Amino acid sequence: MKRALVYLGFVLLLGGLLLASCSENQMTDKKGNYDWAKKRAAMVQQLRVYGIEDERVLKAMNTVWRHKFIPEEYLGVVPPYGNHPCRIGYDQTISQPYIVAYMTKKLNIQTGEKVLEIGTGSGYQAAILAELGAEVYSIEIIPELANHARKALTIEGYEQVKVLTGDGYKGWPEHSPFDAIIVTCAPEDIPQALVNQLKEGGRMILPLGIYIQRLVILRKKSGRIEKVDDLRVRFVPMVR
Ligand code: SAH
C-alpha cells in the first residue's frame, strides 16, 4: 500500500512537471519570455487592423524584439509594444510600430537589397530591414545612440548591420548606390547627396518639412526623380 502511494505520488509529480513545461512552451518565446511574445503578437494584430497587410513586414515586426532596442532606463516609461513612439534618450524616439511597418512596406524591400537608413536611433528599424534580408547601412549623428544601436543589434543577432556615426546629409558614398533609402528624421528639403546615392530604379522614403511634415516617396527613373506625397507625420528634425 505504502509502495503504491509512493508510486502514485511519483506519477502525479511527473505529470505535473510535464503539464507545466507544455503550458510554458505554449506561452513562451524562444528565450522563455512569454509576456513580450504575447505583446508582440498583439502589436502585429493591431497593425493588421490598421491596414498593414504585407505578411513579410508583419513577420519581421513579430520577430524583432522591440523592447531590446529601448535603453533600459526608458523601458518602463511607456509599453514598448504599444502603438506610440518610445523615448530612447537624447530627446529622440523610435517611431510608433505603425509608422515603422508603413514605411518599410512602402519601400518593398527584397532579400539582398542594399538599404541606407538615416537616423539609426535605437537600431530597431535597421533590425526590421535586416530581418527582411536587406544589407543595411545606417547613419546616426549622436555617438551615444550609434553605440547603443551597435550593441543592441549585435546582441539581437543583427551584427551584419553597419552603423556609421556621422552626418546623414552626406549619405555613405563608399557603399552607394543603394536600392532603397529610408530617412527617419525630417529634413526641410530632400538631401541631394541621398538622391545621388540612389540606384536607377531605387526608392527613397522620408518625412519632409519643419512643422507640418509629410512622408514623401521618391523613385529614380531614367535619372529623373518621381515624387509622391503620402501621410502626414511627425518626426524629429534631421539636424546639421
Ligand atoms: N530609426 C530609429 C529612430 C530614429 S529617431 C529607430 O528605429 O530607433 C531619429 C534619429 O535621427 C535620431 O537618433 C537622431 O539623432 C538622428 N538624426 C538626426 N539628424 C541626423 C543626421 N543629420 N544624420 C544622422 N542622424 C540624424
Confidence of residue 22 (pLDDT cuts 50, 70, 90): very low
Residue 153 lies in a domain: yes
What are the two backbone dihedrals, phi and then psi, of residue 204, each rounded to the nearest 5 degrees?
Answer: -135, 140
Our mutation pick for probing the ligand 1 site, out of 70, 87, 96, 120, counting the most ligand atoms within 8 A of Cβ, is 120
Cα 192 from chain centroid (whole Å): 25
Confidence of residue 139 (pLDDT cuts 50, 70, 90): very high
- Give the Å distance between the CA of 140 and the centre of ligand 1: 6
Confidence at residue 28, expressed as pLDDT on a 0 to 100 scale = 55
Confidence of residue 20 (pLDDT cuts 50, 70, 90): very low
Q: How far apart are CA 75 and CA 86, in angstroms?
A: 8
Cell (9 digits) for 142: 549622436
Could you tell me if the CB of 136 is within 6 A of ligand 1?
no
Confidence at residue 223, expressed as pLDDT on a 0 to 100 scale = 85
Residue 240 lies in a domain: no
Helix (H, G, I), strand (E, B) or coil at 5: helix
Kindly tell me the burial class for residue 231, based on how many C-beta atoms sit within 10 Å of its own C-beta (0-12, 13-18, 19 or more). middle
Confidence at residue 126, expressed as pLDDT on a 0 to 100 scale = 98
Our mutation pick for probing the ligand 1 site, out of 66, 102, 131, 140, counting the most ligand atoms within 8 A of Cβ, is 140
What is the tens place of the pLDDT at every residue in 160-183? 999 999 999 999 999 999 999 999
Can you tell me the mean pLDDT for 95-111?
Answer: 98
pTM for this entry: 0.88
Report yes or no: 204 and 226 within 8 Å, Cβ to Cβ.
no
Could you tell me if the CB of 94 is within 6 A of ligand 1?
yes
Residue 144 lies in a domain: yes
Nearest residue CA, atom 23 of ligand 1? 168
Q: How far, CA to CA in Å, does 94 sit from each of 7, 80, 98, 116, 120? A: 56, 10, 11, 17, 9
More confident residue, 14 or 118: 118
Residue 26 lies in a domain: yes
Q: How far apart are CA 125 and CA 210, in angstroms?
A: 22
pLDDT of residue 44 exceeding 70, the answer is yes
Q: How far, CA to CA in Å, does 225 sit from each of 63, 105, 145, 186? A: 34, 20, 32, 19
Percent of the chain with pLDDT over 90: 84
Domain count, the chain: 1
Residue 238 lies in a domain: no
Closest of 156, 169, 181, 183 to residue 69, by C-alpha: 156
Write out the residue range of the structural domain in which residue 132 sits.
2-233
Report yes or no: 70 and 86 within 8 Å, Cβ to Cβ.
yes
Residue 167 lies in a domain: yes
Confidence at residue 16, expressed as pLDDT on a 0 to 100 scale = 44
Residue 239 lies in a domain: no
Confidence at residue 26, expressed as pLDDT on a 0 to 100 scale = 41
Report yes or no: 27 and 49 within 8 Å, Cβ to Cβ.
no
Q: What is the CATH number of the domain that holds 57?
A: 3.40.50.150
Task: Please identify every residue annotated as catalytic.
Answer: 95
